[in-house]
Amino acid sequence: MKIEKLPQEFVQAQPILATLEQAGYEAYFVGGSVRDTLLGAPIHDVDIASSAFPEEVKALFNRTVDTGIQHGTVMVLDHGEGYEITTFRTESTYTDFRRPDSVTFVRSLSEDLKRRDFTINALAMRHDGEVVDLFDGLSDMTNGIIRAVGDAETRFTEDALRMMRALRFSAQLGFRIADDTRQALRDLAPNLTRIAVERIRVEFEKMLMGGNAAESLKLALDDGVINYLPGEPLKIWDNIIQHLATHQPADTFAVWSLVLAETDLTSSQINRFLRNWKLSRETITTVMTVVPLVRQIDKVSTFDLYQALPYQKTLFELLTLLDISNATIEQIRHIIDMLPITNSSELAIQGGDLIREGVMMPGPKLGQCLKKIEYAVVNGELENTRESLIQYAKEQVNDDN
Protein backbone atom coordinates (compact mmCIF):
# COMPACT_ATOMS: atom_id res chain seq x y z
CA MET A 1 0.00 0.00 0.00
CA LYS A 2 1.19 3.48 -0.81
CA ILE A 3 0.07 6.80 0.65
CA GLU A 4 0.01 9.09 -2.37
CA LYS A 5 -0.31 12.42 -0.56
CA LEU A 6 1.92 12.58 2.47
CA PRO A 7 1.18 15.03 5.30
CA GLN A 8 3.51 18.01 5.39
CA GLU A 9 5.20 16.72 8.55
CA PHE A 10 6.56 13.76 6.58
CA VAL A 11 7.49 15.88 3.57
CA GLN A 12 9.61 18.13 5.79
CA ALA A 13 11.40 15.08 7.22
CA GLN A 14 12.08 13.41 3.86
CA PRO A 15 15.58 14.96 3.55
CA ILE A 16 16.54 13.17 6.79
CA LEU A 17 15.61 9.81 5.28
CA ALA A 18 17.33 10.75 2.02
CA THR A 19 20.60 11.50 3.84
CA LEU A 20 20.50 8.14 5.61
CA GLU A 21 19.62 6.22 2.44
CA GLN A 22 22.29 7.94 0.36
CA ALA A 23 24.83 6.81 2.96
CA GLY A 24 23.71 3.22 2.43
CA TYR A 25 21.40 2.80 5.42
CA GLU A 26 17.73 1.87 5.60
CA ALA A 27 15.40 4.47 7.07
CA TYR A 28 11.63 4.49 7.65
CA PHE A 29 8.93 6.53 9.30
CA VAL A 30 7.49 4.42 12.13
CA GLY A 31 5.05 4.42 14.99
CA GLY A 32 2.03 6.51 15.79
CA SER A 33 2.51 9.02 12.98
CA VAL A 34 2.16 6.26 10.36
CA ARG A 35 -0.85 4.78 12.15
CA ASP A 36 -2.60 8.13 12.51
CA THR A 37 -1.97 9.07 8.87
CA LEU A 38 -3.63 5.84 7.74
CA LEU A 39 -6.55 6.55 10.09
CA GLY A 40 -6.91 10.10 8.78
CA ALA A 41 -6.06 11.56 12.19
CA PRO A 42 -3.72 14.48 12.93
CA ILE A 43 -0.12 13.43 13.50
CA HIS A 44 2.22 14.74 16.14
CA ASP A 45 5.79 13.55 16.45
CA VAL A 46 7.43 12.05 13.37
CA ASP A 47 9.68 9.19 14.45
CA ILE A 48 12.30 7.55 12.25
CA ALA A 49 13.86 4.08 12.55
CA SER A 50 17.09 3.25 10.75
CA SER A 51 19.70 0.56 10.30
CA ALA A 52 22.32 3.22 11.08
CA PHE A 53 23.83 2.88 14.55
CA PRO A 54 23.82 6.00 16.79
CA GLU A 55 27.43 6.99 16.08
CA GLU A 56 26.78 6.53 12.36
CA VAL A 57 23.76 8.83 12.57
CA LYS A 58 25.79 11.46 14.41
CA ALA A 59 28.49 11.30 11.74
CA LEU A 60 25.96 12.13 9.02
CA PHE A 61 24.31 15.20 10.56
CA ASN A 62 25.78 18.44 11.83
CA ARG A 63 23.42 19.04 14.74
CA THR A 64 22.39 16.13 16.96
CA VAL A 65 21.34 15.58 20.57
CA ASP A 66 21.85 12.32 22.48
CA THR A 67 18.26 12.04 23.73
CA GLY A 68 18.43 8.32 24.49
CA ILE A 69 21.61 7.05 22.96
CA GLN A 70 21.82 4.03 25.28
CA HIS A 71 18.59 2.83 23.66
CA GLY A 72 19.73 3.87 20.19
CA THR A 73 17.93 7.22 19.91
CA VAL A 74 19.56 10.36 18.55
CA MET A 75 17.69 13.58 17.79
CA VAL A 76 18.62 15.34 14.56
CA LEU A 77 17.94 19.08 14.48
CA ASP A 78 16.93 20.30 11.04
CA HIS A 79 15.27 23.58 9.99
CA GLY A 80 13.99 24.28 13.49
CA GLU A 81 12.57 20.78 13.97
CA GLY A 82 13.84 17.85 15.99
CA TYR A 83 13.56 14.33 14.58
CA GLU A 84 14.29 11.30 16.73
CA ILE A 85 16.14 8.57 14.84
CA THR A 86 16.24 5.22 16.62
CA THR A 87 18.45 2.36 15.50
CA PHE A 88 16.73 -0.94 14.69
CA ARG A 89 17.06 -3.00 17.84
CA THR A 90 16.11 -6.16 19.68
CA GLU A 91 15.47 -6.29 23.40
CA SER A 92 16.32 -8.73 26.18
CA THR A 93 14.21 -9.69 29.18
CA TYR A 94 12.21 -7.10 31.13
CA THR A 95 12.92 -7.75 34.80
CA ASP A 96 10.98 -4.67 35.94
CA PHE A 97 8.04 -5.23 33.52
CA ARG A 98 8.84 -1.86 31.98
CA ARG A 99 12.31 -1.49 30.48
CA PRO A 100 14.44 -4.06 28.68
CA ASP A 101 17.45 -5.15 30.70
CA SER A 102 19.52 -4.55 27.57
CA VAL A 103 19.09 -3.66 23.91
CA THR A 104 21.04 -4.91 20.91
CA PHE A 105 21.36 -2.80 17.78
CA VAL A 106 20.59 -4.68 14.57
CA ARG A 107 20.37 -3.95 10.85
CA SER A 108 16.98 -5.65 10.35
CA LEU A 109 13.68 -3.77 10.17
CA SER A 110 11.66 -6.93 10.83
CA GLU A 111 13.60 -7.64 14.04
CA ASP A 112 12.83 -4.11 15.18
CA LEU A 113 9.12 -4.15 14.34
CA LYS A 114 8.38 -7.49 15.96
CA ARG A 115 9.23 -6.11 19.42
CA ARG A 116 6.51 -3.44 19.16
CA ASP A 117 3.25 -3.61 21.09
CA PHE A 118 0.37 -3.83 18.58
CA THR A 119 0.14 -4.61 14.88
CA ILE A 120 -1.34 -1.19 14.09
CA ASN A 121 1.77 0.35 15.67
CA ALA A 122 4.21 -1.99 13.90
CA LEU A 123 3.84 -0.31 10.51
CA ALA A 124 6.73 1.41 8.76
CA MET A 125 6.67 3.79 5.80
CA ARG A 126 9.33 4.55 3.21
CA HIS A 127 10.12 8.11 2.18
CA ASP A 128 7.81 7.80 -0.85
CA GLY A 129 4.77 6.74 1.20
CA GLU A 130 5.05 2.98 0.60
CA VAL A 131 3.81 1.21 3.74
CA VAL A 132 5.73 -1.80 5.06
CA ASP A 133 3.32 -4.14 6.87
CA LEU A 134 4.98 -7.29 8.23
CA PHE A 135 2.35 -8.23 10.85
CA ASP A 136 -1.01 -7.59 9.13
CA GLY A 137 -1.46 -4.25 10.83
CA LEU A 138 -3.33 -2.86 7.83
CA SER A 139 -5.83 -5.70 7.98
CA ASP A 140 -6.34 -5.19 11.72
CA MET A 141 -6.79 -1.48 11.15
CA THR A 142 -9.40 -2.12 8.45
CA ASN A 143 -11.23 -4.56 10.71
CA GLY A 144 -10.94 -2.41 13.81
CA ILE A 145 -8.82 -4.76 15.91
CA ILE A 146 -6.19 -4.14 18.60
CA ARG A 147 -3.88 -7.16 18.37
CA ALA A 148 -0.51 -7.73 20.01
CA VAL A 149 2.46 -8.33 17.73
CA GLY A 150 3.29 -12.03 17.95
CA ASP A 151 2.53 -13.60 21.32
CA ALA A 152 0.38 -11.32 23.48
CA GLU A 153 1.60 -12.75 26.79
CA THR A 154 5.18 -12.06 25.76
CA ARG A 155 4.38 -8.48 24.78
CA PHE A 156 2.51 -7.80 28.04
CA THR A 157 5.18 -9.47 30.15
CA GLU A 158 7.81 -7.25 28.54
CA ASP A 159 5.92 -4.09 29.51
CA ALA A 160 2.76 -4.46 31.59
CA LEU A 161 1.68 -0.93 30.68
CA ARG A 162 0.82 -2.28 27.23
CA MET A 163 -2.35 -3.70 28.78
CA MET A 164 -3.50 -0.18 29.64
CA ARG A 165 -2.46 0.97 26.18
CA ALA A 166 -4.66 -1.73 24.63
CA LEU A 167 -7.63 -0.39 26.58
CA ARG A 168 -6.72 3.18 25.72
CA PHE A 169 -6.41 2.53 21.98
CA SER A 170 -9.69 0.62 22.06
CA ALA A 171 -11.36 3.62 23.70
CA GLN A 172 -9.82 6.18 21.36
CA LEU A 173 -10.26 4.28 18.09
CA GLY A 174 -13.39 2.26 18.83
CA PHE A 175 -11.49 -0.93 17.98
CA ARG A 176 -12.13 -4.25 19.73
CA ILE A 177 -9.30 -6.13 21.42
CA ALA A 178 -8.45 -9.45 19.72
CA ASP A 179 -9.42 -12.56 21.70
CA ASP A 180 -5.87 -13.78 22.37
CA THR A 181 -4.74 -10.29 23.33
CA ARG A 182 -7.69 -9.90 25.69
CA GLN A 183 -7.02 -13.28 27.31
CA ALA A 184 -3.43 -12.25 27.99
CA LEU A 185 -4.76 -9.02 29.46
CA ARG A 186 -6.96 -10.99 31.86
CA ASP A 187 -4.16 -13.34 32.86
CA LEU A 188 -1.46 -10.74 33.37
CA ALA A 189 -3.46 -7.84 34.84
CA PRO A 190 -1.85 -8.33 38.31
CA ASN A 191 1.45 -7.19 36.78
CA LEU A 192 0.02 -3.66 36.58
CA THR A 193 0.84 -3.28 40.27
CA ARG A 194 4.52 -3.28 39.27
CA ILE A 195 4.10 -0.26 37.00
CA ALA A 196 4.63 3.34 38.15
CA VAL A 197 1.35 5.02 39.07
CA GLU A 198 2.12 8.00 36.84
CA ARG A 199 2.40 5.80 33.73
CA ILE A 200 -0.87 4.02 34.47
CA ARG A 201 -2.61 7.32 35.17
CA VAL A 202 -1.76 8.80 31.77
CA GLU A 203 -3.24 5.79 29.95
CA PHE A 204 -6.28 5.64 32.24
CA GLU A 205 -7.05 9.32 31.66
CA LYS A 206 -6.72 8.95 27.89
CA MET A 207 -8.97 5.89 28.02
CA LEU A 208 -11.76 7.74 29.83
CA MET A 209 -11.53 10.64 27.38
CA GLY A 210 -11.86 8.33 24.35
CA GLY A 211 -15.04 8.16 22.32
CA ASN A 212 -15.43 4.46 23.15
CA ALA A 213 -14.59 4.92 26.84
CA ALA A 214 -17.70 3.14 28.13
CA GLU A 215 -16.85 -0.11 26.35
CA SER A 216 -13.20 -0.01 27.37
CA LEU A 217 -14.02 0.67 31.01
CA LYS A 218 -16.59 -2.14 30.99
CA LEU A 219 -13.95 -4.49 29.60
CA ALA A 220 -11.51 -3.39 32.31
CA LEU A 221 -14.20 -4.04 34.90
CA ASP A 222 -15.32 -7.40 33.48
CA ASP A 223 -11.76 -8.69 33.07
CA GLY A 224 -10.62 -7.59 36.53
CA VAL A 225 -8.10 -5.03 35.32
CA ILE A 226 -9.78 -2.40 37.48
CA ASN A 227 -8.78 -4.34 40.61
CA TYR A 228 -5.10 -3.66 39.98
CA LEU A 229 -5.30 0.09 39.47
CA PRO A 230 -4.08 2.59 42.10
CA GLY A 231 -6.41 4.10 44.69
CA GLU A 232 -9.15 2.56 46.80
CA PRO A 233 -11.60 0.15 45.14
CA LEU A 234 -14.76 1.94 43.99
CA LYS A 235 -18.27 0.51 43.83
CA ILE A 236 -19.72 2.84 41.22
CA TRP A 237 -17.92 1.86 38.01
CA ASP A 238 -21.22 0.75 36.45
CA ASN A 239 -22.62 4.26 36.98
CA ILE A 240 -19.55 5.80 35.38
CA ILE A 241 -19.88 3.45 32.41
CA GLN A 242 -23.47 4.61 31.90
CA HIS A 243 -22.40 8.26 31.93
CA LEU A 244 -19.51 7.60 29.53
CA ALA A 245 -21.91 6.02 27.04
CA THR A 246 -23.32 9.47 26.24
CA HIS A 247 -20.56 11.94 27.14
CA GLN A 248 -16.80 11.75 27.62
CA PRO A 249 -14.66 14.10 29.73
CA ALA A 250 -12.77 16.74 27.78
CA ASP A 251 -9.85 17.00 30.19
CA THR A 252 -8.26 15.31 33.17
CA PHE A 253 -10.01 17.56 35.71
CA ALA A 254 -13.34 16.28 34.45
CA VAL A 255 -12.07 12.68 34.40
CA TRP A 256 -11.33 12.61 38.11
CA SER A 257 -14.39 14.64 39.03
CA LEU A 258 -16.55 12.11 37.20
CA VAL A 259 -14.81 9.14 38.82
CA LEU A 260 -15.48 10.49 42.32
CA ALA A 261 -18.71 12.49 42.08
CA GLU A 262 -21.09 9.63 42.87
CA THR A 263 -18.95 7.76 45.37
CA ASP A 264 -19.71 7.82 49.09
CA LEU A 265 -16.13 8.79 49.90
CA THR A 266 -15.64 11.56 52.42
CA SER A 267 -13.54 14.61 51.67
CA SER A 268 -10.47 13.11 53.35
CA GLN A 269 -10.98 9.81 51.51
CA ILE A 270 -11.24 11.64 48.18
CA ASN A 271 -8.03 13.48 48.98
CA ARG A 272 -6.26 10.20 49.78
CA PHE A 273 -7.64 8.54 46.63
CA LEU A 274 -6.32 11.35 44.43
CA ARG A 275 -2.95 11.35 46.16
CA ASN A 276 -2.67 7.60 45.65
CA TRP A 277 -3.04 8.31 41.92
CA LYS A 278 -0.27 10.93 42.34
CA LEU A 279 -2.32 13.72 40.84
CA SER A 280 -1.19 17.34 40.75
CA ARG A 281 -2.16 19.81 43.45
CA GLU A 282 -4.21 21.71 40.87
CA THR A 283 -6.21 18.60 39.98
CA ILE A 284 -6.81 17.70 43.62
CA THR A 285 -7.99 21.24 44.43
CA THR A 286 -10.29 21.30 41.41
CA VAL A 287 -11.88 17.93 42.18
CA MET A 288 -12.27 18.68 45.88
CA THR A 289 -14.00 21.96 45.04
CA VAL A 290 -16.31 20.71 42.31
CA VAL A 291 -17.40 17.30 43.65
CA PRO A 292 -18.98 18.58 46.91
CA LEU A 293 -20.85 21.25 44.95
CA VAL A 294 -22.32 18.76 42.51
CA ARG A 295 -23.29 16.39 45.30
CA GLN A 296 -25.58 19.10 46.73
CA ILE A 297 -26.34 20.98 43.53
CA ASP A 298 -30.00 21.54 44.50
CA LYS A 299 -28.92 23.29 47.71
CA VAL A 300 -25.84 25.12 46.50
CA SER A 301 -25.57 28.75 47.62
CA THR A 302 -24.64 31.81 45.62
CA PHE A 303 -21.46 32.22 47.64
CA ASP A 304 -20.50 28.57 47.04
CA LEU A 305 -20.72 29.18 43.29
CA TYR A 306 -18.77 32.41 43.64
CA GLN A 307 -15.96 30.58 45.43
CA ALA A 308 -15.97 27.92 42.70
CA LEU A 309 -15.65 30.41 39.82
CA PRO A 310 -12.05 29.41 38.97
CA TYR A 311 -13.35 25.86 38.47
CA GLN A 312 -16.60 26.59 36.64
CA LYS A 313 -15.46 24.96 33.38
CA THR A 314 -15.05 21.64 35.20
CA LEU A 315 -18.24 22.23 37.18
CA PHE A 316 -20.40 22.63 34.08
CA GLU A 317 -18.71 19.75 32.32
CA LEU A 318 -19.33 17.47 35.30
CA LEU A 319 -22.99 18.50 35.44
CA THR A 320 -23.31 17.49 31.79
CA LEU A 321 -21.44 14.21 32.32
CA LEU A 322 -23.80 13.32 35.17
CA ASP A 323 -26.88 14.08 33.06
CA ILE A 324 -28.06 16.84 35.38
CA SER A 325 -31.14 18.51 33.88
CA ASN A 326 -30.67 21.44 31.53
CA ALA A 327 -32.98 23.50 33.73
CA THR A 328 -30.68 23.05 36.72
CA ILE A 329 -27.58 23.79 34.65
CA GLU A 330 -29.13 26.97 33.27
CA GLN A 331 -30.16 28.04 36.76
CA ILE A 332 -26.58 27.62 37.96
CA ARG A 333 -25.30 29.49 34.92
CA HIS A 334 -27.76 32.34 35.57
CA ILE A 335 -26.62 32.69 39.19
CA ILE A 336 -23.00 32.89 38.07
CA ASP A 337 -23.78 35.38 35.30
CA MET A 338 -25.55 37.65 37.80
CA LEU A 339 -22.72 37.75 40.34
CA PRO A 340 -21.77 41.39 41.06
CA ILE A 341 -18.07 40.50 41.36
CA THR A 342 -15.92 37.57 40.27
CA ASN A 343 -13.20 37.97 42.92
CA SER A 344 -12.34 40.14 45.91
CA SER A 345 -10.10 42.45 43.88
CA GLU A 346 -13.26 43.81 42.24
CA LEU A 347 -14.60 45.16 45.55
CA ALA A 348 -14.88 48.94 45.55
CA ILE A 349 -12.56 49.12 48.57
CA GLN A 350 -9.58 47.16 49.83
CA GLY A 351 -7.94 46.92 53.22
CA GLY A 352 -5.71 49.90 52.55
CA ASP A 353 -8.76 52.11 51.96
CA LEU A 354 -10.22 51.28 55.36
CA ILE A 355 -6.88 52.00 57.04
CA ARG A 356 -6.44 55.34 55.24
CA GLU A 357 -10.01 56.35 56.12
CA GLY A 358 -9.24 55.63 59.76
CA VAL A 359 -12.01 53.06 59.95
CA MET A 360 -9.79 50.17 61.04
CA MET A 361 -6.23 49.36 61.97
CA PRO A 362 -4.17 46.58 60.37
CA GLY A 363 -4.78 43.20 61.96
CA PRO A 364 -7.02 40.12 62.00
CA LYS A 365 -10.22 42.14 62.41
CA LEU A 366 -9.51 43.98 59.16
CA GLY A 367 -9.35 40.70 57.27
CA GLN A 368 -12.53 39.47 58.97
CA CYS A 369 -14.34 42.66 58.02
CA LEU A 370 -13.28 42.38 54.38
CA LYS A 371 -14.55 38.79 54.30
CA LYS A 372 -17.94 39.96 55.61
CA ILE A 373 -18.03 42.71 52.99
CA GLU A 374 -17.20 40.24 50.23
CA TYR A 375 -19.92 37.85 51.42
CA ALA A 376 -22.54 40.61 51.62
CA VAL A 377 -21.71 41.99 48.16
CA VAL A 378 -21.79 38.56 46.52
CA ASN A 379 -25.18 37.78 48.10
CA GLY A 380 -26.64 41.09 46.94
CA GLU A 381 -27.01 42.41 50.49
CA LEU A 382 -24.64 45.29 49.91
CA GLU A 383 -24.06 47.54 46.91
CA ASN A 384 -20.49 47.46 45.64
CA THR A 385 -19.74 51.18 45.97
CA ARG A 386 -17.02 52.86 48.00
CA GLU A 387 -19.46 54.79 50.17
CA SER A 388 -21.63 51.76 50.87
CA LEU A 389 -18.72 49.52 51.80
CA ILE A 390 -17.02 52.08 54.07
CA GLN A 391 -20.32 52.69 55.86
CA TYR A 392 -20.78 48.94 56.29
CA ALA A 393 -17.26 48.64 57.73
CA LYS A 394 -17.96 51.45 60.21
CA GLU A 395 -21.11 49.65 61.35
CA GLN A 396 -19.09 46.47 61.87
CA VAL A 397 -16.61 48.36 64.06
CA ASN A 398 -19.44 49.88 66.11
CA ASP A 399 -21.05 46.46 66.55
CA ASP A 400 -17.75 45.03 67.78
CA ASN A 401 -17.39 47.86 70.27
Alpha carbon 306 to chain centroid, angstroms: 28
- Looking at residue 323, the DSSP 8-state letter turns out to be T
Phi/psi class of residue 231: alpha, beta or left (left: φ > 0; alpha: ψ in -120 to 50)?
left
Task: Determine the Cα–Cα distance for residues 111 and 120; give it in Å rounded to an integer.
Answer: 16
Is 35 known to sit in a ligand binding site? yes
Q: Of 269, 271, 309, which is closest to residue 287 (Cα–Cα)?
A: 271
Q: What is the arrangement of strands in the sheet containing 27-30, beginning at the earlier edge strand?
A: 64-68, 73-78, 81-87, 47-50, 27-30, 123-125, 131-133
Q: What angle do CA 87, 39, 98 make, to 5 degrees?
A: 40
Q: Is 168 annotated as a binding residue?
A: yes
- Helices in 262-379 by DSSP H: which ranges? 267-276, 281-295, 302-307, 312-321, 326-337, 351-356, 364-378
Q: Is 116 annotated as a binding residue?
A: yes
- Cα 217 from Cα 237, distance rounded (Å): 8
Could you give the angle at the alpha carbon of 251 between the alpha carbons of 246 and 252, nearest 5°? 110
- Sequence-distant (≥ 6) Cβ neighbours of residue 63 within 8 angstroms: 76, 77, 78
Residue 380 CB neighbour total at 10 angstroms: 12
Give 320's contacts (C-beta < 8 A, 6+ positions apart): 247, 329
124 in helix, strand or coil? strand
Task: Tell me how far apart the alpha carbons of residues 169 and 206 are, in angstroms, rounded to a whole number.
Answer: 9
- Of 280, 282, 230, nearest to 259 by C-alpha is 230
d(Cα 370, Cα 347) in Å, to the nearest integer? 9
- The contacts of residue 379 (CB under 8 Å, 6+ apart) are 302, 303
**159 carries a ligand binding annotation:** yes
**Rounded distance, CA 49 to CA 17, Å?**
9
Q: Can you give the length of the chain in residues?
A: 401
Helix (H, G, I), strand (E, B) or coil at 86: strand
Distance from C-alpha of 207 to C-alpha of 258, rounded to nearest angstrom: 13
Known binding positions for Mg(2+): 45, 47
**Annotated binding-site residue numbers for ATP:** 32, 35, 116, 159, 162, 165, 168
Residues at the binding site are 32, 35, 45, 47, 116, 159, 162, 165, 168
Binding-site residues for CTP sit at: 32, 35, 116, 159, 162, 165, 168
